[in-house]
Amino acid sequence: MVDTVKKFKGLSRELIALRIANELEDGSYVNLGIGIPTLVSDWIEGRDIVLQAELGMLNTGPLASREDVEQDLINASCQPVTELPGSSYFSENESFAMIRGGYMDVAVLGALQVSEKGDLAGWSNPERGLPEEIGNIGGSMDLAVGARKVIIAMMHTTNDGDYKIRKECTYPLTAQGVVDLIVTDLAVIEVTKKGLLLREVAPGVSAEDVQSVTEPELIVSRDLQEIQL
Amino acid sequence: MVDTVKKFKGLSRELIALRIANELEDGSYVNLGIGIPTLVSDWIEGRDIVLQAELGMLNTGPLASREDVEQDLINASCQPVTELPGSSYFSENESFAMIRGGYMDVAVLGALQVSEKGDLAGWSNPERGLPEEIGNIGGSMDLAVGARKVIIAMMHTTNDGDYKIRKECTYPLTAQGVVDLIVTDLAVIEVTKKGLLLREVAPGVSAEDVQSVTEPELIVSRDLQEIQL
Amino acid sequence: MDKVYPDVDSVIADIPDGASIAIAGFFTAGTPIPLIQGLARQGAKDLTLICMQMGPGNEDIAQLFMNGQVKKAICNYPFYRSASRGANSPVEKAVRNGEVEMEVYPMGTFTEKLRAAGAGIAAFYTPTGVGTVVEGGKEKRKFGNREYLLETALKPDYSFVYAQKGDRMGNLTCHKTARNYNPEMAAAGKITIAAVENLVEIGEIDGDTVHIPGIYVQRVVKVDRPNYFPTID
Amino acid sequence: MDKVYPDVDSVIADIPDGASIAIAGFFTAGTPIPLIQGLARQGAKDLTLICMQMGPGNEDIAQLFMNGQVKKAICNYPFYRSASRGANSPVEKAVRNGEVEMEVYPMGTFTEKLRAAGAGIAAFYTPTGVGTVVEGGKEKRKFGNREYLLETALKPDYSFVYAQKGDRMGNLTCHKTARNYNPEMAAAGKITIAAVENLVEIGEIDGDTVHIPGIYVQRVVKVDRPNYFPTID
């Protein structure tokens, strides 16, 4: 348990999204989950990256301005979006065939907790008090098991200062052992077979600072850098 | 074994097809197999019946005349066909989803043998001498298990005068217990739980004549009629 | 073939108490709202609703719960995102109070169960949900190095779908992201009812652009396009 | 994204000996003939071909057998209808002589195995083939009152597909019954190569009419439409 709330000042949600945008390779197909992941789209306009909207669209464009809103053109967060040259539409079933079939190069997802083994808990907060098997699963479980690479975008701790990066997840799992990279307001951490590798830290934040708000022991990279934006 | 070849003169292939066309209800979706079944299409022009071509088309029209041939518009027998108002195209996979999913009201199929239990053998003639699991299965197995009603169109005996309607099929099966109605050059026979019910005979052919070229014992309908064309 | 009914009330009149009904649409997009509203008027009870959402972005579904018409919900994203907003939602209340039974599936599994029903597939093995509460008592099996869950087909008595354009034979085309669940739910339903915004004559739709072949659609009704604005928070 | 290769030879240059290759097309319709002809020139050996037909209506496939390039064939309707014509066919001879291994599946099972591979489904239960030689050693299982066979996914190293129109990102549209196996084979292939009759710029294809989204297509090549006339007798 972390005893102080928000010990360190790190990146904004927008800059977490920017760091992730820099991680994406040109020519890749990417799905962005609800929350911080959605903000990644603001940083890739004009790049050679195709976004998927899981309800059945490839090459999703930027959010629609009020006068461009089409009821039949929304993203998975139910926001009105626009199309781009080369956009295509298909059924939800085809969309998840694509996701499970391994066609998403990267899924960027939010998380409530991530374990040092790469387990992801993101769909259900038990504090809401619903029966354990009931909640908004959405597309997260399929994306977590289907995407070639899973990047987590989240704040490093809860609003109460609790660990979100943990030895074991205590919340209901989305999937086991699927997370490849964790990008938070404080750090960029790679999930490796040997454990969590701390690769980058936010400006003004040390490796020790990050460790103090991370439950499992971090391996500090020999090439530890400040997060490059 | 029947010891004389072609004992009785019955209906032509075209009239077998006509009898089957009369069996089809308006408003139904129908798949026609290769051989005599294909001829049924000549008798339903203008009727409210939708034909499926199993490679991925609904509302298949008549065969194309030479000047109308389109390479991209063929039926399952690889014959150039035409389209009708309301024709639609889809993938082979969707086509068989439709077939297995129970959407074909009727499949009209050819057969090498049919048993009194409604077993169908139609895809492989062992006399060709290929390994038993190898041959042209085509769409027959899916159609046989998927269609709501299976009507067999065939000559009553082989060219050598052998039984085709048998106690047990001796050729490799297409499916078990699927046949509902058998229409041959000599008779219309319904497959019932109690056995084969002889409902209609060709002009000039008696129930005894039909029995003499049919291995299993036939139940003769109280309403036995001459085939109505 | 003419599958067109004169109005919403007649097209759903025979739906009995206890029926299972799949309702297409991703939150708002492609949802057959006039049919859901008709169902509220029609009054059938003890219904099993099979629908991705159960309220957020779709107040008309929530109304069916408030009317006490729903016995069971099979879904994917039933609640508002916000816990505080959810606490006041009739759907979430009904689930908390045990008045409604609810099954939740991952989105891909949910749609694949319907697809399997339409395609004559009894069951399938998916990697989604392994190691999670979704496992429940389901069979888990290894293929290659990976574990998969066995999920079975889900066949609704009725499916409600929405299309931008439909002809009298039931050939349908959908528009952009309003396609979503419509094709697979249309194929899954024993009786599929299509609400179409534009009813056209047979032959007006190019066969290469049909998204839902008419064979899957038993009834068609012309509706006015409902006006809605999305929100799921 | 620009997935266009300059010509057939370069688009298939890297296919190694021992590769499995799915080839779309129903006999003649929608078959990527220029890619098959290229494969004959390229010379890769010990190939596993996954294709509905193995000769009838498709002399170019038969040529691969005559070249000794084929180790195994996974198919549905491999032979001519006529036994006497078949007796003279190089494909049937190769099978009779045990020079080529062959697996034959019912048409729906054949395409569903490919669909499963593209859709991340490991295996599925189908009613087709129960009580026939197709059962082989497969698991048979009852769901409800009916028996089903377990069939597994089939993932090719390469898929060859054909489209009437394609853009540089690999979005494809097919024409009438030439669609057939193309969508599911495109999704199944680890590397999918599309031969397109009309190569267009990105944005020229209406997104609602795309039959094969570009995500499934890794390489695109412009070809001239081959001229063929169907016969399977």
Collapse the DSSP code of D32 into the 3-class scheme (helix H, G, I; strand E, B; otherwise coil) and give the result. Answer: coil
**Residue C229 token pair:** 């604005």
Which has the closest alpha carbon to B54: D107, A155, A220, A139? D107
Task: Please say whether the beta carbons of C4 and C196 come within 8 A.
Answer: no
| Mean pLDDT value of segment A187-211 | 97
Q: Which chains touch D (3 or more CB pairs under 8 A)?
A: A, B, C
How many alpha carbons fall within 13 Å on the CB side of residue B114?
29
- Choice among A54, A116, A200, A215 that is catalytic: A54
Under DSSP, the state recorded for A80 is B
pLDDT in tens, A83-138: 999 999 999 999 999 999 999 999 999 999 999 999 999 999 999 989 999 999 99
Look at C207 and B98 and tell me if their CB atoms are within 8 Å: no
Residue A185: its pLDDT value, please?
97
**C231: pLDDT confidence band, cut at 50, 70 and 90?**
low
Rounded-to-integer distance, Cα D2 and Cα A158, Å: 43
pLDDT in tens, C96-111: 999 999 999 999 999 9
Instruction: Determine the residue of chain D that is closest to A98 in CA distance.
Output: D119
The yes-or-no verdict on residue A6 having pLDDT over 80 is no
Q: Is B86 left (phi over 0), alpha (psi -120 to 50) or beta?
A: left
Nearest-CA distance C220 → chain B (Å): 15
Under DSSP, the state recorded for B59 is E
**Residue A8 token pair:** 């360190």
**A1: pLDDT confidence band, cut at 50, 70 and 90?**
very low
Under DSSP, the state recorded for D10 is H
**Residue A51 token pair:** 């976004």
Largest Cα–Cα distance of chain D, in whole Å? 55
Please count the residues of chain D. 233
**Residue D152 token pair:** 């597994």
**Residue B191 token pair:** 């497959």
The yes-or-no verdict on residue B68 having pLDDT over 90 is no
Look at D207 and A88 and tell me if their CB atoms are within 8 Å: yes
Residue C82: its pLDDT value, please?
87
Average pLDDT, chain D: 95
Angle, to 10 degrees, between the axis of helix A92-100 and the axis of helix C107-118?
Answer: 120
Question: Between vectors from CA B11 to CA B10 and to CA B14, what angle results, nearest 5°?
Answer: 160
**B229: pLDDT confidence band, cut at 50, 70 and 90?**
confident
The yes-or-no verdict on residue D222 having pLDDT over 70 is yes
State the residue for tokens 């962005």. Answer: A32
At residue C178, what is the residue type?
Answer: A
Look at D120 and A29 and tell me if their CB atoms are within 8 Å: no
Residue D231: its pLDDT value, please?
59
Angle, to 10 degrees, between the axis of helix B92-100 and the axis of helix D107-118?
Answer: 120
pLDDT in tens, D193-202: 999 999 999 9
Catalytic residues of B, by residue number, are 54
Q: What one-character-per-residue DSSP string does A151-166 give?
A: EEE--SB-TT--BSEE
pLDDT in tens, B79-125: 899 999 999 999 999 999 999 999 999 999 999 999 999 999 999 99
Collapse the DSSP code of D132 into the 3-class scheme (helix H, G, I; strand E, B; otherwise coil) and give the result. Answer: coil
**Residue D141 token pair:** 């299982």
Residue B3: its pLDDT value, please?
47
Task: Please say whether the beta carbons of D181 and B91 come within 8 A.
Answer: yes
**Residue D114 token pair:** 């490919």
Model ipTM value: 0.96
On whether any CB of chain D is under 8 Å from the CB of A100, the answer is yes
Of A95-99, C60-64, C120-124, D213-217, where does mean pLDDT reach its minimum? C60-64
pLDDT in tens, A155-164: 999 999 999 9
| Torsion sign, CA atoms D158, D163, D168, D169 | negative
pLDDT in tens, A36-47: 999 999 999 999
Look at C174 and D208 and tell me if their CB atoms are within 8 Å: yes
Rounded-to-integer distance, Cα D184 and Cα D153, Å: 12
Instruction: Determine the residue of chain B that is closest to C168 in CA distance.
Output: B86
pLDDT in tens, C109-134: 999 999 999 999 999 999 999 999 99
Contacts of A27 in chain D (CB under 8 A): 1
Rounded-to-integer distance, Cα B61 and Cα B71, Å: 15
Q: What is the pTM of this model?
A: 0.97
**B136: pLDDT confidence band, cut at 50, 70 and 90?**
very high
On whether any CB of chain D is under 8 Å from the CB of A98, the answer is yes
| Mean pLDDT value of segment A151-170 | 96
Rounded-to-integer distance, Cα A186 and Cα C118, Å: 49
Average pLDDT, chain B: 95
Instruction: Determine the residue of chain A that is closest to C185 in CA distance.
Output: A93
Q: What share of chain A is helix, strand, coil (3-state, %, to 5)?
A: 20, 30, 50
Under DSSP, the state recorded for B14 is H
The yes-or-no verdict on residue D15 having pLDDT over 70 is yes
Rounded-to-integer distance, Cα C125 and Cα D117, Å: 11
How many CB pairs below 8 A link C and D? 64
Q: What one-character-per-residue DSSP string does C106-165 give?
A: -HHHHHHHHHHHHTT--EEEESTTTTSGGGTT--EEEETTEEEEEEE----SEEEEEEEE
**Residue A169 token pair:** 């997840």
Look at B96 and D107 and tell me if their CB atoms are within 8 Å: yes
How many CB pairs below 8 A link B and D? 161
At residue B15, what is the residue type?
Answer: L
State the residue for tokens 């999937």. Answer: A175
Residue C229: its pLDDT value, please?
65
Nearest to D208 among C120, C146, C176 (CB): C176
Nearest to A86 among D121, D203, D216 (CB): D203
Nearest-CA distance D211 → chain C (Å): 9
pLDDT in tens, D71-127: 999 999 999 988 888 888 889 999 999 999 999 999 999 999 999 999 999 999 999
Collapse the DSSP code of D206 into the 3-class scheme (helix H, G, I; strand E, B; otherwise coil) and give the result. Answer: coil
Domains, chain D, in order of start with CATH, read: 4-222 (3.40.1080.10)
Nearest-CA distance C120 → chain D (Å): 7
Rounded-to-integer distance, Cα C51 and Cα A87, Å: 26
| Torsion sign, CA atoms B164, B166, B171, B175 | positive
Sheet of C146-152: strand order equals C140-143, C146-152, C123-126, D123-126, D146-152, D140-143
Residue A176: its pLDDT value, please?
98
Window D:143-182, CB contacts with C under 8 Å: 143-144, 146, 148, 152-153, 173-176, 179
**Residue A148 token pair:** 């070639």
* Strand partners of residue D47: D70
Rounded-to-integer distance, Cα A63 and Cα A83, Å: 9
CA distances from C96 to C79, C89, C93 (A): 12, 11, 5
Residue A8: its pLDDT value, please?
84
Dihedral, B148, B153, B158, B164 alpha carbons, nearest 10? 30
Nearest to A138 among C77, C86, C114 (CB): C77
Instruction: Determine the residue of chain C that is closest to B48 in CA distance.
Output: C1
Q: Of D189 and C228, which is predicted with more confidence?
A: D189
State the residue for tokens 């909640």. Answer: A135
Residue B2: its pLDDT value, please?
46
**Residue B37 token pair:** 């079944």
Nearest to D122 among C120, C143, C209 (CB): C143
Which has the closest alpha carbon to C123: C115, C135, C132, C133? C115
State the residue for tokens 């990102």. Answer: D169
Under DSSP, the state recorded for D64 is H
CATH number assigned to the domain covering B4-37+104-226:
3.40.1080.10
